Amino acid sequence: MPVARTIRNLGHRTVEAVWRIGYASRFFAMILLHSGTSFRRFQLTIKEVYFTGVMSLVIILVAGLFVGVVLGLQGYETLKSYGSESSLGELVALSLVRELGPVLGALLFASRAGSAMTAEIGLMKATEQLAAMEMMSINPISRVIAPRFWSGVISMPILAAMFSVVGVFGGYLVGVVYIGVDNGSFWSQMQASVDFQHDVVNGVIKSFVFGIAVTAISLFEGYDAPPTAEGVSHATTRTVVESSLVILMLDVVLTAVMFRGV
Amino acid sequence: MSAQPLVEIRDVNFTYDTRAILKGINMDFHRGKVIAIMGGSGCGKTTLFRLIGGALKPSRGEVRINGQVIHELDEKGLYAMRRKMGVLFQFGALFTDLSVYDNVAFQMRELTDLPESMIRDLVTMKLHAVGLRGTENLMPNQLSGGMARRVALARTIALDPMLILYDEPFTGLDPISLTMIGDSIRRLNNALGATSVLVTHDVQESLKIVDYIYFIADGVIAAEGTPEEIMATDKPFVHQFVHGLGDGPVPFHFPASSSYAEDLGVRA
Ligand SMILES: Nc1ncnc2c1ncn2[C@@H]1O[C@H](COP(=O)(O)OP(=O)(O)OP(=O)(O)O)[C@@H](O)[C@H]1O
Ligand SMILES: [Mg+2]
């Protein structure tokens, strides 16, 4: 009975998925519950911010520059056909601040820092470091997991902002320096159109939400990984795939709420 | 032996999935003693340690420490109990992102309010006890296997625990370190008034330093006694183990469900 088997498989997978989501939610609740140490001993969190930040900084800056350059080139071509090349600054800045900074920044963060986090936690578990800590009556969630979580939540908006800033600079390089759009109108149009509340704050909120999602997924996958080399490598892959999908899904929702007032 | 033992293991059964690992273990660890647990690979020694540390729950029976049933403690009670325990993990489990110094100092920093100057002195003393003073700034991946094991040993005893569980403290040690570590386990136990339990395969070394020995086989205690009793016994099991013979009641092979001949496709 292939139909019965298919239905049974489907049911089995559904139950497993629901169970996993429940387990992940519990894990997330535990992180929040055991976050005291991350703030009381803030240097623990700062140390992780340093690691995740430094780890992702180069890729964020380089990617931001390239994206800005491409935006400048493409934007100029499109705007020229409407005779509004002077709005190039506005186009570049709005695209970056509203969308590309938070989204691409988070995608890069997931593949660079998120996967590293998963691998690190997975290996700590596989080599019984977390178990050893528990045997010392030190809660690994509060000592190891929570500081990493908050480091991600703190780093992500900063990295996204850097992405946007470098991107705008890339757009300036190609638009003003290379193509020759008027310098004054590039900046003044940008200033006139980018609204702090509507654009900048919403962009920061986006990257903040992405930061929470990516870091929580990365840590959960590491914590949940089977204690083997294969288990850790699968978990690392899952981190990147799941984070990417979740970022794009959340972006749809957030954009709809923020810019269309759904 | 009228005093209450520090650790009482009563009819402990444990099953992984469907495979019964421990089938009714009874042990008493008396205060101030050094006890050895021996048995073939995979017989459940590490599992027993996990049960004592409260990381696993017995499917039947109970482990009592200081009269308290471990698996009935809540998280707070369990953590309070673990503060008085030191566990050397079979594979060391050093924190790979911390230096040797920070590894040994870890619990002092996390669990006490000792000033850094005192922590420095304590770490120096603990490292000296395992012969590794001067390695403070090395990272775990810069240590040899035997050195890592000794650092883990120093970390285990960092807070002077009352119950110390050593899972194979002698593996990877050269004969000189082995004797030194063996001696220091004994000395430490006496100095701290602690109780030490070691899982080991090193029969000769442990006979020298321990007070009591348990042999586990097939999930039950196959033999037990003081070193003198063990040396004198003529039980085939103990004889085989002490002399490392391939032939005897202790199986070398995992209990596979099919025979070797079947697996190879050979007809009997
Ligand atoms: N997480 C687990 N899931 C299922 N079975 C396990 C698990 N951990 C251990 N086992 C099984 O339990 C048995 C006992 O394992 P344990 O680690 O306690 O052995 P051991 O006596 O410490 O062996 P060794 O001397 O080789 O360290 C083994 O047969 C092993 O296959
Ligand atoms: Mg073992």
Q: Give per-residue pLDDT as tens, B185-198.
A: 888 888 888 999 99
**3-state class of B26 per DSSP?**
strand
Contact A135 B111 (CB under 8 A): no
And the tokens for A11? 């049911």
- Please state, for a pLDDT cut of 90, what percent of chain A lies above it: 67
Q: Which of B19, B46, B171 to probe ligand 1 with, by most ligand atoms within 8 A of CB?
A: B46
DSSP-derived pairing of the beta strands B212-217 and B195-199: unpaired
**In terms of pLDDT, which residue wins out, B68 or A65?**
A65
Judge contact between B78 and B54, C-beta under 8 A: yes
Q: Are strands B60-65 and B34-39 parallel, antiparallel or unpaired?
A: unpaired
Alpha helices in A34-137 (DSSP H): 36-40, 42-81, 88-94, 101-109, 115-126, 129-135
B15 min Cα distance to partner chain A (Å)? 20
Q: How far is residue A204 from each of residues A63, A66, A140, A214, A254, measured CA to CA in Å?
A: 19, 21, 30, 15, 12
Mean predicted confidence (pLDDT) in A212-233:
94
Query: A45 pLDDT exceeds 70?
Result: yes
pLDDT of residue A220: 96
Q: Is B225 exposed, middle or buried (0-12, 13-18, 19+ CB in 10 A)?
A: middle
**Rounded mean pLDDT, A98-117:** 94
Band of residue A194 on the pLDDT scale cut at 50, 70, 90: confident
The two three-digit tokens of residue B20, written as one number:
């019964």
For B135-203, give the DSSP string: -TT--GGGS-HHHHHHHHHHHHTTT--SEEEEESTTTT--HHHHHHHHHHHHHHHHHHT-EEEEE-S-H
State the average pLDDT for chain A: 91
The pairing of strands B163-167 and B195-199 is: parallel
| Pocket, ligand 1, Cβ cutoff 6 A | B 16-17, 21, 39, 41-47, 90
- A65 against A4, higher pLDDT: A65
Assess contact for B197 and B165: CB atoms under 8 A: yes
Chain B residues with beta carbon closer than 8 angstroms to that of A148: none
Locate A224 and state its tokens. Answer: 């949940």
Average of per-residue pLDDT across A53-78: 92
A176 to A90, A94, B18: CA distances (angstroms): 13, 17, 72
The pLDDT, as a whole number, for residue B207 is: 84
Judged by DSSP in three states, A87 sits in: helix
Q: What is the pLDDT of residue A189?
A: 87
| Dihedral sign (CA B137, A51, A245, A145) | positive
Q: What percent of chain A has pLDDT over 70?
A: 99
How many CB atoms within 10 Å of residue A180? Answer: 10
- Angle, vertex CA B244, rays to CA B238 and CA B247, nearest 5: 80
Give residues with Cβ within 8 angstroms of A97, minimum separation 6.
A164, A194, A199, A200, A203
Residue nearest to atom 22 of ligand 1 (CA): B46
Which parts of chain B register pLDDT below 50? 1
Q: Which helix (H) or strand (E) is B38 found in, with range?
A: strand B34-39
Among A120, A132, A137, the residue with its CB nearest the CB of B93 is: A132
Determine whether the interchain pair A128/B82 forms a contact, defined as Cβ–Cβ distance below 8 Å.
no
Could you tell me the end-to-end alpha-carbon distance of chain B, in angstroms, rounded to an integer? Answer: 55
Q: Which of residues 112-141 of A touch B (CB under 8 A)?
A: 120, 123-124, 127-129, 131-139
Pick the atom of ligand 1 nearest to B49's CA: 18
pLDDT, one tens digit per residue, over B16-73 is 988 889 998 999 999 999 999 988 888 889 999 999 999 999 999 999 999 889 889 8
Ligand 1 pocket mutation pick from B43, B91, B165 by most atoms within 8 angstroms of CB: B43
The CATH number of the structural domain formed by B1-84+163-174+192-268 is 3.40.50.300
For residue B48, report the distance from its CA to the centre of ligand 1, in Å. 10
Global pTM exceeds 0.90: no
- Which chain B residue lies closest to A143 (C-alpha atoms)? B110
pLDDT at residue B235, as a whole number: 76
Mean pLDDT of chain B: 86
A242: distance to nearest CA of chain B, Å? 27
- Residue A139 is classified by DSSP as -
In chain B, domain spans = 1-84+163-174+192-268, 92-160
Q: What is the pLDDT of residues A173-184, one digit of tens each?
A: 998 899 888 888
Atom number, ligand 1, closest to the C-alpha of residue B50: 18
Shortest CA gap B122–chain A (Å): 17
- pLDDT value of residue A231: 94
pLDDT of residue A191: 87
Q: How far does the CA of residue B235 sit from the closest CA of chain A (Å)?
A: 37
Chain A residues in contact with B91 by the CB 8 A cut-off are 127-128
